């Protein structure tokens, strides 16, 4: 194996992944626009708002900045609790060699759909919705060299 890692994703890593994909999409853009608009509206109209409307403005301004991230983290905690075995994944010229519990598989490089490089992780997609999340914690100092290696193997 050219590279081999054994890991179990944490709730924080799964939360980061969800937040990257939410706020890197059109949904995230809408969330940001809504939050900015509600804050601007709340500030400009605050003196003339009733207490009920002030409460709604505060609730709405916290919706995507506090409430949603907490809800996503709770979901990530449940997902992380469901991961009962370490994943060992190896990379060589033939592809990815994956061992989880007593199940093993080989994924040829031609079957890898996409590689996504985020600030705190690299995600290798086996299809449009499934993949392997390798965080900086797992990759350590190999991150840059590892990314260059896998990027050279995946046809874009």
Query: What pLDDT sits at residue 155?
Result: 75
Domain boundaries, the chain: 3-9+85-153, 11-82
Query: What pLDDT sits at residue 102?
Result: 86
Question: What angle is formed at CA 38 by the lines to CA 33 and CA 42, rounded to 5 degrees?
Answer: 150
Q: Provide mean pLDDT across the span 67-94.
A: 95
Q: Provide mean pLDDT across the span 83-98.
A: 94
Q: Which of 74, 96, 98 is nearest to 85 (CA)?
A: 98
Give the strand order in the sheet containing 3-7: 3-7, 87-92, 95-100, 103-108
Going by pLDDT thresholds of 50, 70 and 90, the confidence category of residue 129 is confident
- As a whole-number percent, the residues of the chain with pLDDT over 90 amount to 92
- Which positions ≥6 away from 126 have C-beta within 8 Å? 107, 111, 112, 113, 132
Query: What pLDDT sits at residue 101?
Result: 85
**Rounded distance, CA 39 to CA 16, Å?**
25
Class of the 3-9+85-153 domain?
mainly beta
* Mean pLDDT of all residues belonging to the chain: 94
Does residue 1 have a pLDDT over 80? no
Going by pLDDT thresholds of 50, 70 and 90, the confidence category of residue 156 is low
User: pLDDT tens-digit profile of 28-74?
Assistant: 999 999 999 999 999 999 999 999 999 999 999 999 999 999 999 99
Q: Are strands 131-135 and 121-125 parallel, antiparallel or unpaired?
A: antiparallel
Q: Provide mean pLDDT across the span 78-85.
A: 94
Q: Provide mean pLDDT across the span 5-15.
A: 96
């Amino acid at each position: 194996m050219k590279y081999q890692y054994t890991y179990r994703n944490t709730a924080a890593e799964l939360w980061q992944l969800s937040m990257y994909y939410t706020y890197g999409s059109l949904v995230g853009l809408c969330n940001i626009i809504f939050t900015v608009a509600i804050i601007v509206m709340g500030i400009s109209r605050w003196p003339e708002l009733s207490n009920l409307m002030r409460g709604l403005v505060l609730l709405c301004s916290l919706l995507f900045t506090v409430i949603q991230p907490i809800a996503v983290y709770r979901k990530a905690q449940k997902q992380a609790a469901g991961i009962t075995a370490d994943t060992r994944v190896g990379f060589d010229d033939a592809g990815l060699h994956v061992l989880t519990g007593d199940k093993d598989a080989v994924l040829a490089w031609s079957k890898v759909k996409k590689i996504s490089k985020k600030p705190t992780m690299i995600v290798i997609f086996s299809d449009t919705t499934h993949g392997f999340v390798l965080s900086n914690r797992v990759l350590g100092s190999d991150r840059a060299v590892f990314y260059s290696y896998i990027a050279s193997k995946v046809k874009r």
